[in-house]
């Protein structure tokens, strides 16, 4: 279900009726490399000089990145940071039809969603396959991977809370009028039922009004908070006033473990992704895994300086072959084709954008259900591999892939937001 905390109306999340085919080899490559990306982005988050240098242009040209950077600085940078990081990450891929490789769209380090609803959709597809099997027909369950995204996310958050001394409650930071609350509540319920930890939901405005620091400990409505899990705070509209920024800073300055820390949030920037693709950069962070990891890199271009001039020429010669990306999360922010051309022609300082090769996945015919209505449409799919990550001090305690999500969108739509109404929740049928 998706719905609103205050609206009181609910509808089921849009879903596909059956799983969509995805090559097993590409799925397995994506799954096998995803933990290396968790380690990489955590490594980046710990490198003050690299973050500072890489994000310089974005901080200058983009107020949102600048405000996040300000929280990082004012909470003491690396020194002010907890000596641990807990992450529920999702590395997203589209199948590149020409090469057959899964090419990475991005790695999400903040507010990753659909671990719960995605797991339910996988289970529903398995159930329907068994239900509709003819007598004597053998259902190929091996082609429909079991999806443990919900338990993986819940377990790693609980492990992070325990690593900090099992203090107080977990705070889940959410948006007012949250539409995706059922995905979130399943996680809270799982954490309580499996680990006995209470979760409290709070908006940034509520944290600003009712949160405080007591000897470094974050308190909310009188309870101590051991871990703060962000399901909001990733987009400018989550900060309508300076009060929300005060709340983010208060959280960051507290000794609660943050999932993610603002450093890890910043490490997930599109600009960092582009920088890592430059010759030798990934290699400097991940010398042993870099060759594997590069297999899933799409072409990425900086729009700074001389290099930028060359990239702009490339893109203007073939606007449909590229995607122009600002430093944003949550879908609906990228520019394609004509909009991309217009923005590049407008010129100015493009340091807050990156340019990316447009990935061209194969299309499918998909039976979708949205708001109770069945519709068959031509679609493209994006595979997300979840990752659970926990580092305490210098030791990586947990780093494993944890379930997957297929989001399937109308082939005519550039972007594919499930909650935004462009895409449906789906699961892969490995072939």
**Distance in angstroms (rounded) separating the CA atoms of residues 425 and 431:** 19
> Residue 333 binds which one of Mg ion, ligand ADP, none, with CB within 5 to 8 A depending on kind?
ligand ADP
8-state DSSP, 332: S
Evaluate whether 200 touches 170 at the Cβ level (below 8 Å).
yes
CB of 198 to ligand ADP, least distance (A): 31
CB atoms inside a 10 Å sphere around CB 189: 14
407 is catalytic: yes
Choosing among ligand ADP, Mg ion, none, which partner's interface includes residue 304 (Cβ < 5 to 8 Å by kind)? none
Toward ligand ADP, which CB reaches closer, 82 or 175?
175
Say whether 90 is catalytic. Answer: yes
Please report how close the Cβ of residue 112 comes to ligand ADP at its closest, in angstroms: 10
Q: What is the DSSP string of 172-192?
A: EE--TT-S-HHHHHHHHHHHH
Based on the shown chain and the rule CB under 5 A, indicate whether residue 327 belongs to the binding site for Mg ion: no
The Cα 360–Cα 358 span in angstroms is: 6
**Residue 329 dihedral angles phi and psi, to the nearest 5°:** -125, 160
Q: What residue number has its CB nearest to ligand ADP?
A: 359
The answer to whether the annotation marks 111 as part of a ligand binding site is yes
Choosing from 81, 120, 169, 270, the catalytic residue is 270
Is 295 an active-site residue? no
Stretch 220-259 residues interacting with Mg ion (CB under 5 A): none
DSSP 369-407: EETTEEEEEEEEEEEEEEEEEEEETTEEEEEEEEEEEEE
Catalytic residue of the set 4, 43, 243, 330: 330
Binding status of residue 111 toward Mg ion by CB under 5 A: no
User: Which x/- pattern over 328-357 shows residues binding Mg ion (rule: CB under 5 A)?
Assistant: -x----------------------------
State the maximum Cα–Cα separation within the chain, in Å, rounded to a whole number.
66
Q: Where do we find the tokens 């494993």?
A: 400
121, two tokens: 């959709």
Q: Does 221 count as an annotated binding residue?
A: no
Q: Which does 42 bind (CB under 5 to 8 A by kind): ligand ADP, Mg ion, none?
A: none
For the bound state, the minimum distance from the C-beta of residue 106 to Mg ion, rounded and expressed in Å, comes to 5
Cα–Cα distance for residue pair 120/427, rounded to 1 Å = 10
Residue 337 is a catalytic residue: no
> Which of 359, 383, 381 shows the shortest CA–CA distance to 368?
381
Q: Which of 46, 126, 275, 325 is an active site residue?
A: 325
Asked whether 19 and 429 are in contact (CB, 8 A), the reply is yes
Q: How far is the CB of 173 from ligand ADP (least distance, A)?
A: 18
Go through the chain and tell me how many residues it has: 431
Q: Which is nearer to ligand ADP, 206 or 238 (CB)?
A: 238
Is 118 in the active site? Answer: no
Which chain residues interact with ligand ADP by CB under 6 A? Answer: 92, 94, 105-106, 298, 323, 325, 328-331, 333-334, 356-359, 382, 415-416
Judged by beta carbon distances under 5 to 8 A according to partner kind, the member of Mg ion, ligand ADP, none in contact with residue 206 is none
Work out what residue 176 binds among Mg ion, ligand ADP, none; the CB cut-off runs from 5 to 8 Å by kind.
none
CB of 92 to Mg ion, least distance (A): 5
Nearest to 110 by CA among 325, 330, 332: 330
Q: Is 255 annotated among the ligand-binding residues?
A: no
Percentage helix, strand, coil for the chain under 3-state DSSP, each rounded to 5 = 40, 30, 30
* Strands (E) located in 69-123: 84-95, 102-108
Question: How many binding residues for Mg ion (CB under 5 A)?
Answer: 2
Owner of token pair 């591999």? 385
**56 known ligand binder:** no
Note if 325 is an active site residue: yes
C-alpha–C-alpha distance, residues 32 and 329, integer Å: 25
Give the residue numbers annotated as catalytic, written as ranges.
90, 106, 108, 113, 270, 325, 329-330, 407
Residues of the binding site for substrate: 90, 110-113, 178-180, 184, 231-234, 407, 418-419
Residues of the binding site for Mg(2+): 106, 108, 329
> In the complex, which residues of this chain contact Mg ion (CB under 5 A)?
108, 329
Residues of the binding site: 90, 106, 108, 110-113, 178-180, 184, 231-234, 270, 325-334, 336, 356-359, 382, 407, 409, 415, 418-419
């Amino acid at each position: 279900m998706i719905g609103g905390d205050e609206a009181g109306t609910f509808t089921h999340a849009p879903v596909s009726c059956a799983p969509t085919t995805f090559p097993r080899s590409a799925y397995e490559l994506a799954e096998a490399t995803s933990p290396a990306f968790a380690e990489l982005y955590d490594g980046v988050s710990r490198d003050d000089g690299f973050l500072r240098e890489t994000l310089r242009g974005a901080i200058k040209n983009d107020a949102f990145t600048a405000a996040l950077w300000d929280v990082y600085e004012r909470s003491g940078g690396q020194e002010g940071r907890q000596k641990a990081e807990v992450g529920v990450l999702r590395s997203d891929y589209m199948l590149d039809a020409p090469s057959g490789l899964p090419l990475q769209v991005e790695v999400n380090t903040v507010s990753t969603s659909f671990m719960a609803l995605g797991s339910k959709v996988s289970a529903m597809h398995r159930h329907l396959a068994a239900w509709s099997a003819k007598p004597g027909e053998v259902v190929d369950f091996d082609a429909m991977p079991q999806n443990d995204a919900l338990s993986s996310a819940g377990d790693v958050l609980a492990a992070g809370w325990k690593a900090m001394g099992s203090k107080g409650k977990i705070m889940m930071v959410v948006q007012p009028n949250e539409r995706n609350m059922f995905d979130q509540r399943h996680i809270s319920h799982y954490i309580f039922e499996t680990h006995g930890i209470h979760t409290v939901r709070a908006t940034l405005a509520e944290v600003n009004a009712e949160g405080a620091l007591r000897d470094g400990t974050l308190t909310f409505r009188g309870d101590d908070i051991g871990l703060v899990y962000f399901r909001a705070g990733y987009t400018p509209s989550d900060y309508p006033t300076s009060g929300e920024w005060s709340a983010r800073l208060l959280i960051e300055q507290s000794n609660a473990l943050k999932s993610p820390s603002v450093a890890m949030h910043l490490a997930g920037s599109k600009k960092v992704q582009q920088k890592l693709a430059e010759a030798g950069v990934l290699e400097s962070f991940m010398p042993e895994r870099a060759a594997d990891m590069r297999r899933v890199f799409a072409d990425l271009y900086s729009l700074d300086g001389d290099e930028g001039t060359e990239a702009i020429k490339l893109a203007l010669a073939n606007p449909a072959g590229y995607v122009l990306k600002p430093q944003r999360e949550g879908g609906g922010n990228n520019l394609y084709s004509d909009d991309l051309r217009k923005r590049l022609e407008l010129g100015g300082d493009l340091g807050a954008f990156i340019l990316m090769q447009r990935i061209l996945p194969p299309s499918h015919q998909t039976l979708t259900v949205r708001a109770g209505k069945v519709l068959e449409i031509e679609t493209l799919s994006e595979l997300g591999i979840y990752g659970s990550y926990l580092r305490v001090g210098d030791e990586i305690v947990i780093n494993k892939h944890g379930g997957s999500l297929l989001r399937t969108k109308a082939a005519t739509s550039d972007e594919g937001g499930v909650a935004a109404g462009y895409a449906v929740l789906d699961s892969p049928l490995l072939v």
